[in-house]
Each structure stands twice: as structure tokens, then as C-alpha cells.
Amino acid sequence: MRYRLADVLAILGVTLLFAAFAGVTQATDPDWKAVEQAPGNSGQLQAGDVFRVGMPRTDLSVTVKGVPVKAGFALGSYAALAADLK
């Protein structure tokens, strides 16, 4: 499976941000805008104070029984981050 350099860098950036947040206890609400800037995609705050950033695949061309599947519809990955995992 081949990955685009931009996808790899986005995943690496989110992973590094997660590692940075892992050792820090936040007294205030985390700044999720900084997390959104790493992959360049917007995210959503989910139940349990988990922040989810989706990363759709744009390098795939998939067809199922003659019907093209858009990458944003069913193909992709995401990073789910939490500021504090007590």
C-alpha cells in the first residue's frame, strides 16, 4: 500500500501532538485549534471529551460493482485524542 507524503506527515504531526499532550496536565480546556492545524483538517469534540480529526484518503480510486466510492464517504482514517486519560 502506498501512502502520500502529505498523509504520512499529517499522521506523524497528530501523533507528535498527542505525545506532547500525554505528559501535560491541562488546567484549562485544551487548544484543539492547534491539533487541527497539524493535518490541516477540522475536527469535532466527541462524547467523553475526545477530539476526533478525520483524514479522508484522496489518493484512492475505488469502484464497487461499477459504482465509484468517494474517499470521504467510506475510506479514510482518523485520530482520536483526549487531553486527560485518568
| Per-residue model confidence (pLDDT) at position 36 | 76
If you average pLDDT over residues 73-81, what whole number do you get? 77
| Per-residue model confidence (pLDDT) at position 73 | 65
pTM of the model: 0.50
Closest-CA residue to 71 (of 80, 83, 62, 82): 62
pLDDT in tens, 26-46: 556 777 787 777 777 788 888
- Mean pLDDT score of the chain: 75
Phi, psi of 43 (to 5 degrees): -130, 180
User: Domains of the chain: which residue ranges?
Assistant: 5-82
| Per-residue model confidence (pLDDT) at position 53 | 84
| Per-residue model confidence (pLDDT) at position 24 | 57
Residue 26 burial (CB < 10 Å; 0-12/13-18/19+)? exposed
Q: Where are the alpha helices (DSSP H) in 1-86?
A: 5-22, 32-37, 71-74
